[in-house]
Every structure is written in C-alpha cells, then in structure tokens.
Structure 1
Amino acid sequence: AFPSTTAASLGSLGTGLPPGKHGLVGYDVLDPEQGKVVNMLGGWDPGVDPLQWQPYPSVFEQAAGQLPVVSVSLPKFADSAMTRAALRGGSYVAAGTLQARVRGAHEQLSASDRALVYLYLNEMDKAGHRYGCGSAEWGNQLEDVDSAIRTLAARVPSDTLLLLTADHGMVDVDVDHRHDFSTQPQLIDGVAHTAGEPRMLHLYFEPDLSPRGQERLLAAWRDAYGRLAWIFTRDQAVDAGLFGEVDQRVLPRIGDLMIAAREPIALYDRRRTSASAMEVVGQHGSLTRAEREVPLLTLNRPGGKGTRG
C-alpha cells in the first residue's frame, strides 16, 4: 500500500481495501475534525474513534461467520486502536516471544479442522529501524524468523495453506542524509501541519494560503529536493491512484502537498519530532521498489509441498 508504512499496509491487509477507503493514509495524519495531527499506529488520539475512522468491516469480521478466526500477536496489541480499526474480529492469542507466537499459531491451526490464523512478527522491523536492514543485527533476526517459520511450516496440518509476507520494505538512511527541513523558512511558510513519515511527508496548507502561495511552496520544495524526491499535490496523487479509490471522508486526511523520497534521505520537522527520531537508520514510507515491493511466499500448500513464489 501507499504510503509504504505499517498503518497503511496492515490497514489494507486487514480490510482488503486501499488506504483511500480505509483511511489509514500514513504513520500520522491530519484529523480534519479536530484540526490536529493524530497517530495511526501506537498512540491514537483519545478524540479519534477507531471504528468511526475506519468503518468498513475487516476481513476477520467477514470470515468469522464462516470459520474460527484467531490473531496471534503481542500482548500490547490485543486491544490497541490499530487492532480495533483494521484487524478486529475473531479471538486474540497474546504471546511475547517470537517462539511463543509461532507455537501459539501452530496450536490454533491444530485445534480446528478449518480456521483462519493471523500471525504477526515484528522483530525484523525493530532491528531494521534501529540498526539498518544491512546490519548484522537485522541478519540475525532474519535467521531467527527463518528458523521459526520453517519449524511452523514443518508442523502445520498437511491441508494448511501457509503464506508469509510483509507490510513494507526498508532502506537505510545515513546520518548525513537525515535533514531537518524546519530550519528552511521557505519550505514551511504557509504550512499549517506536517505529518507522515520522514520518507513520505504530508504537508497541509494554511486555510487562507492563496493559490500563488501554494505554487510558491511547491516551487520551493522542488528547488530544494526535486532531485532527491517526488513532489506532488493531493490531486496528482489521487489522480495517479496512489491511494486507490479515495472516499470523500478520507480526502482531507491526505496532505495538500506530499514529499516522497526517491534517494536514501529522510526529512524531519524537528519542531514536532524528538531527537531520537533522527537516530532511526532503517526507514520506509515512499514509492521506491525497495520500500513497496515485498514477496508473498507460499510455505505450505494443501495437497503439495511448499513453494516459493
């Protein structure tokens, strides 16, 4: 999904809808009703009701009437706003470690003749953000996940379809390429709110910003970062289908102007982000192949051996 970030992609995985329909269009975005930026992942604003923000039935809710549906994930996500928005439905099995979650998924698959089980692993993502996806630490986590999933694939009932995929890819951004754009007045004059992620910014104009002022901002961003990023307006993004079909209620959540990094850079508004945020190595959110293309692996297929492809 676009942006290539957890909220948007898990929103699409959980609902079967593009971000323009389910409305989780970034890591954090403008809530037009409150007039402030709200987080879509770990810290939802108390003024945002997940069921109103994302009103469509989830895949789990639709399937639960036909067969048992179980999510196996971390305890802290059991009743999170993200879960209630896009992954609601069925029952929830909480387990802390990677091995415990894999064991829990196996137990749930073995307990019923028919079941849909969702297993969430975040170890590689955490290592990538902290150390980079080219680091030894990320490689170690990859080996752990590979070993755990191989074990699961070998133990699931023979008539199980076992699929493995990811919500996004990742690129490493060198410390010298992490920029604080808030120090450049020409890039923020006329901008009421900044949101998104460092590799895919949502910029929301001041309500009274004139068309000439909007063009000036667009030109300033293209002059500063046009060789390093794709820079486009909301209308251009919608017309290009980046968010899929877009509901009218979702439209104002999308930035008036968007900056999607093409090169390995990250752009921060230090007026609203912490210093620790600029320490993140592995990042995602933009349109590059490394961030948007992820494999779908078939590890076990009913009636045959697992295949990769």
Structure 2
Amino acid sequence: MTDPSAVAGPFGAYGPFDRVRPEYGGDSLADLLPSVLAVLGVPGATDPLGLVGQLDGVRRIAVLLVDGLGWYQLPTAAPHAPVLADLAARTGRPLTSGFPSTTPTSLVTLGTGAAPGAHGVLGFRLNVPGSDRILTHINWSGAAGDPRTPDPDPRRWQPLPTQLELAEAAGVAVTVVSRPEYAVSGLTVAANSGGVYRGAAGVDALATEMLAALAAGPGPTLVSGYHPDLDQQGHLAGVDSIAWRAAAAELDRLLDRLVHGLPADAALLVTADHGQLNVPPDRRFDLDLDPRLRAGVRVVAGEARVRYLHTEPGATDDVLATWTEVLGPAAWVAPRAEAVAAGWFGPVSEEHLARIGDVVVCCQESYVILASRTEAPMEAKLVAYHGSWTATEMTIPLLFAHH
C-alpha cells in the first residue's frame, strides 16, 4: 500500500490528482468559523486563519458556502463569473476541506469548527453501529420519513456545540439562510443549530435574506448562507458543461448583489465544501455487479469516491486482499486503524470509530466505485463526483469582500 500521508509539494501547489491532507488547526474549513468568531469578539475564540488583522473594524460577517466550488474550479468558472474571478484574483487563498470531501461532513466541519473525527459525521452515508441500517445525512429523517423527528437524534449523533451557538451565547446576532426545506432536517440541526433560520428558495431570495439579516441590528452579526446549485449541475451534467456554466453565472449574480449590498462595517467570506471531478465511463467499478467485491461484506457505506466496508466476522483480511487485487491502482484500500492513524479524520473519538468501515477504500485519480442496485440509481448516472483526497476535491477557496 502507498502511504496516504505522503504528499508531494507545498500546500496550494499540488497537481489535480495529488493527495492533499486536511490542514486541521491551520488552513482548513474547520478553522473558518472560529476565526470569524474571533473577529466578532467572542471570548475564547481562536484565530487560526489570521482574520482579525485582515478584518479590522468589521462587526458584521456573512459566510457563504458554495457547494461544489473547489479551488480547481475557479479558473473554469472565471469566464462566466467576473465577480467571482475578481474576488479570487484579489483575495483568494486555498483552504482544505475535511475528509471525506463531501457535503454533510463539510457542513458539520464548518458549523462545529471541528474535524470529522470529533463531530462524528464521517461521510455521506454511515452505518449506524449495532445495526445494518445506513444513515444518509442529506435526507436524515425518522423511520416514517418525517423530517421533524430525525433518527438517530442529531444532538446525540453529533455531540458538539456549533460555532453559531457559541456566537449567539456571546451576544452575536446569528442567522442561517438556506433552502426552506432544509430548516428542520437532521443535518441542519447537526451543522447549524443556533440563531434564526430564514428560508430562501433561489439566488435572489438568498441575497435578499442574507443582506437583510446582515443589516438587521446594531451589534455584532453573523450570517451563514448556503448555495447548492453549482454542485447539483456538476453532478448531473459535469464540470464545465453548459448547465454548470449557467450555474456559475447565477452564482456570480448572487455574489454581485452581496458584494455591492454590504453595510459599511460588514464583510463577505465565500468558501466551499469540496471540489468536483468528472469521471469517464471507463473508470467506474460497480460493486453490485461484481460478486468478488460483495464477498464478505455485510454493509457498504460512504459514497462512490470513498467506501466504508463493514465486513462479516472474520472476513476483513479477505476483503482487504480482494479489493486491493480487483481495484489495483484505482484505489487505496486499508483497514480502519490505518486510515485513522494516518490522520485523515483528525483524532477520532472512541464513540465514533465504529462509524468508519472495517475497510476504508479511497479512490485515486478519476475512479469511482458504484453500487447501482443498492443505492439510488441516479447516483450511478452522475457525471462529476467528489469525496476522496485529491487536490481537486480537497482544496477549496476562501474569498473576501469588505468596504
């Protein structure tokens, strides 16, 4: 096996398929909100990103997370998004996402200011320990599908306070602006508890609600916004497709409104949860169509770029050997203990260890491992994917605008 901690080149200077380690505690998504809270004067808040000096005099901050806007997508988007291109050229710096580089993990990493091993949302799908059940975090709901009764309880599944709660407790006016249908989801509770929730169904509503919340009161203010459309079009049509370019132009309209609508003492910070890469048809394995990959596996979790394999008793070594042989250079295959020791998740608390598979499979270059029969059929038809550790997926931007 290749050592997953070996990375060539300094941070920010990787090739698109090079492995990038999460920079927890320095230059990662987990460090953004703690630094924002330090700017807003929250007692005890640290400033690992050094924002206090850059945002001197700022009392209101809007943080916009653009789903799927990786650092490596900025040049591709630039011809269709001049405001974004200008922000990137003048203020852009790279951060890393957490690992896996997937939306639920990143949203909770941002919201808690903690690495995935601490907050426990360690992937897109996780096996609920002690059962064969799979929890899909983006549609986290109760057994009857009622989003008002998420199961497991997100307050137990994700035990940390959010940075929004800490800010609110310190007297900061806190608002979350996102799609109306996300208001009571388990993922929202886990990632964004704290403050007032404002539903916004599209670009114009998102800009209006974020700016209104930013200007609502005289004191320190934090507004957290979320925009999903670029990611959706990347998945469905591919990065740099006509639909993706149109989504980039819509994002630019949002940024234009936000930048030019900022109050005098406000700043806008733009970041992302992950990047994306297009996957050719000939780089797709399907574990549901290959009996070798199903042998000895009790539950498959994760997603197409990072798989967690929960094995039958006594089958872990055989599963490791088989997956290593079948996948070859397409993936890194390792036991849980090796993946945890390599630091990809940050320190993993004892209560969260069993959520990671007995075997961890990380796709390299532009390969995926599909499950066409046991997961939603649409997932096997996507064009772009993310989740693994390549620079394209792991490297995200931090952009600034303020008066």
Counterparts of 1:265 and 1:78, CA distance in 2: 34
Counterparts of 2:216 and 2:140, CA distance in 1: 34
- C-alpha contact (below 8 Å) 1:197/1:285 kept by paired residues: yes
**Larger displacement relative to structure 2 (128-137 or 8-17):** 128-137
Deviation >3 Å, runs of 4+: 43-47
- Given the alignment, which residue of 147, 155, 159 partners 2:253? 147
- Specify whether residues 256 and 45 from structure 1 end up closer, same or farther in structure 2 by C-alpha distance, changes over 3 A only: farther
Structure 1 counterpart of 2:365, which letter?
Answer: E
User: Map of 1:119-268 to 2, 5 A cutoff?
Assistant: 119-206=225-312, 208-209=313-314, 213-268=315-370
Summarize deviations over 1:138-185 as a string: whole Å, max 9, x none: 111111111221221111112112100001110111233332122222
Q: Does 1:16 pair with 2:118?
A: no
Secondary structure class of the residue paired with 2:272: coil
Counterparts of 2:326 and 2:189, CA distance in 1: 40
Structure 2 counterpart of 1:53, which letter?
Answer: W
Summarize deviations over 1:272-300 as a string: whole Å, max 9, x none: 11322211111100000000001111122
TM-score by length of 1: 0.92
Other-structure match for 2:167: 63
- C-alpha contact (below 8 Å) 1:175/1:279 kept by paired residues: no
Q: How many aligned residue pairs are there?
A: 297
Secondary structure class of the residue paired with 2:172: coil
Structure 2 counterpart of 1:277, which letter?
Answer: E
- C-alpha contact (below 8 Å) 1:134/1:172 kept by paired residues: no
- C-alpha contact (below 8 Å) 2:174/2:196 kept by paired residues: yes
Counterparts of 2:207 and 2:243, CA distance in 1: 21
Q: CA deviation at 1:245?
A: 1.1
Secondary structure class of the residue paired with 1:164: strand
Structure 2 counterpart of 1:181, which letter?
Answer: L
Other-structure match for 1:39: 136
- Given the alignment, which residue of 77, 85, 109 partners 2:190? 85
Counterparts of 1:269 and 1:282, CA distance in 2: 16
- C-alpha contact (below 8 Å) 2:109/2:119 kept by paired residues: yes
Extract unaligned runs of 5+ from structure 2. Answer: 1-97, 144-150
Other-structure match for 2:152: 48
Secondary structure class of the residue paired with 2:401: strand
Extract unaligned runs of 5+ from structure 1. Answer: none
- Specify whether residues 244 and 146 from structure 1 end up closer, same or farther in structure 2 by C-alpha distance, changes over 3 A only: same
Counterparts of 1:229 and 1:8, CA distance in 2: 21
**Larger displacement relative to structure 2 (287-296 or 134-143):** 134-143
Summarize deviations over 1:103-141 as a string: whole Å, max 9, x none: 110111111222100011111011111111121211111
TM-score by length of 2: 0.71
Summarize deviations over 1:213-244 as a string: whole Å, max 9, x none: 42222121111112111212211111011111
Structure 2 counterpart of 1:126, which letter?
Answer: Q
Secondary structure class of the residue paired with 2:300: strand
Q: CA deviation at 1:45?
A: 4.7
- Given the alignment, which residue of 392, 396, 403 partners 1:290? 392
